[in-house]
Structure 1
């Protein structure tokens, strides 16, 4: 028989005595983990110094948009600034919403480094956003028509493909020819293809594609392309 001293409780009793403490520590650890998991998304949702731009490569005078969320969910002044030499100048000014969100619509004629600035507010420090650059790029337009020459008696419809940069999905493109105009719209890569009827007579004509004015950006005309339907001569065998 095993005997125990009064000051040494049996193992079963000691385990039962420790169990509440083990459970308490475990509960606290789980609670701490839960708190960590819950706080992380909330911190991300609270805002940041990041400035989101619709276009980082834009056309001259094209309407652009900048938006963000302050780390302070209050209504306060927010400025969109551009760098000029060693100083920052204000391009636009607005007031953030009560949840800290803000946005600006703006146009540029040249490449600029941008940031947002929320000046010091009664109980909030100044917030300076990270620097983003908007590069103004030149438009390009190229037209290709296939086939570029056919015999009248065997003529088939032609395919005209225009490619423009920068790509602006949905931008209207008009193909001008001396047999009529055909309208198409750019896809996500800036391309648009249309079919040109073959015609039934001998003719030679030029075509070019015009990307319409869009959100302030000027229209862009592609190169001209000459194609013809000719009366072919066949030599008997």
Structure 2
């Protein structure tokens, strides 16, 4: 990346923040623009610094990470939020994505994994593996389908082209940009451009939210591959850190 990525680190543990900061700075392309130790501080930090990415802890005083994520995405929708967690619990990640998070980073992640997650979000991808991404999309779509009144309005979006609808239908399977490119026989960069246009047209902040909104508005169909997939195993039953 040619441009420095501005990152805010939010965690109630000073040692964790210090470790993350050192990992980020060693990459060269990342700049830590500020730190906060609670959710309220995270929202204020975003107001003052307007970071590209927020690494957000979950359990914090004054305001928890999910509430803070909702506030950040409400006022600064272009800021990407990655949840910092100790455990990879798919059911909990549904709540995080519902709040507007683009994915998660485990607190014991390697420097390479942390940097990769940030780059994915900056590139318009979701920092969830395909299995978890599919589970999140399914849960959110089912929830919205059961509502008596859909929240999305056709007046709030711009029509998608047939090609964009094809791409979005494949995104709904939780596939990465290279995998989508292989399915459609196009370049990865072309997929990235399509996804960026889709996100802009639907007025959402990331690809997962784009899929959920498109399903809600019946612009695409619910992927049958999800329904036929084996039941996922919860990877961590303990509360998030």
Give TM-score scaled by structure 2 length. Answer: 0.19
Bigger RCO of structures 1 and 2 (CA < 8 A, at least 6 apart): 2
Give TM-score scaled by structure 1 length. Answer: 0.19
Higher strand residue share: 1
Higher helix residue share: 2
Larger Rg: 1
